[in-house]
Structure 1
């Protein structure tokens, strides 16, 4: 079995997640194809692909436009294979943010007209070295509102690697 892992990334956490998923799948004995959707502007052949995992981060309430365009352009081919969509966001890291995180994913699926077999939320990371003053304020006072975290304390990763591995393995075994 060959699994396509297509991802979009902005600050690097989703790329790290995609590489982790790639390793998990290879350790399970399957073949993988790992692609960054921002590097792909043309059609991707899925002839040898049995399953698809799509992963992208949320920034400013949206997944990257290039990622969404990629999903929409491939949706017919994707729908003939088992698929899992992972939405990576800070909101997913906190109980109070779960509803917003699901909304971001739902809105992306509505925009792309794609109906995956499975979806999941994955907690992302804070990388304040990548932010300007405005972005740091938005992260602290909007995204992390009501959380006892300050992005000025440095990079913080919220991804639950064990839960992510379990979700990927469960997807492979269906």
Structure 2
């Protein structure tokens, strides 16, 4: 089986997730090609893959433009095969934020006219210490508003690697049709 791992990453956590996906699938004997949607000059033939894992972070309620353009441009080819969308956001880390995290996916689907076969809301990470004052305030009072985490506690990774591994195994072994 051949799998395309197409992703976009802004602060590094989704890139780390894409690497994890590729490594995990390769250990299971799957051929994986990793493609960064920000690389606009790289040639890619989506038809050469049996399945696709698609991963992108959410910032300001949107997935990166390069990722959404990729989905729109390859919509027909992606719809012809099983796809797994990994939408990475801090809202996915908290029960109170999961409905909003799903809204990000729904809004992306409306913009791109593409809906993946399967979707997983993946908790992201906070890169505390790397944000300017204004970014820290937005993170604290808008993004993390009522959640049980304080930005001043330092960097925090919320990604549930075991849940991601389980979803990848289910996706890789699911029937194609």
- TM superposition score normalised by structure 2: 0.95
1:43–1:74 CA contact under 8 A, matched in 2: no
* Aligned position for 1:128: 128
Greater CA drift, 164-173 or 34-43: 34-43
Q: Deviations over 1:34-54 (max 9, x none)?
A: 011101346521232000000
Alignment of 1:46-125 (within 5 A): 46-125=46-125
Q: What do you get for the CA RMSD once the two structures are aligned?
A: 1.1
Partner secondary structure for residue 107 of structure 1: helix
Question: What's the offset of the Cα at 1:93?
Answer: 0.1
2:46–2:74 CA contact under 8 A, matched in 1: no
Question: What's the offset of the Cα at 1:131?
Answer: 1.5
Report whether the alignment pairs 1:150 with 2:150: yes
Question: What's the offset of the Cα at 1:128?
Answer: 2.0
Question: What's the offset of the Cα at 1:146?
Answer: 1.3
Query: How far, CA to CA, are the matches of 1:143 and 1:57 in structure 2?
Result: 14
Greater CA drift, 133-142 or 6-15: 133-142
- What 5-or-longer segments of structure 1 have no aligned partner? none
Q: Deviations over 1:53-96 (max 9, x none)?
A: 00000001110011111111011110111111110000000000
Which stretches of structure 1, 4 residues or more, deviate above 4 A after TM superposition? none
- What 5-or-longer segments of structure 2 have no aligned partner? none
Query: How far, CA to CA, are the matches of 2:134 and 2:41 in structure 1?
Result: 31
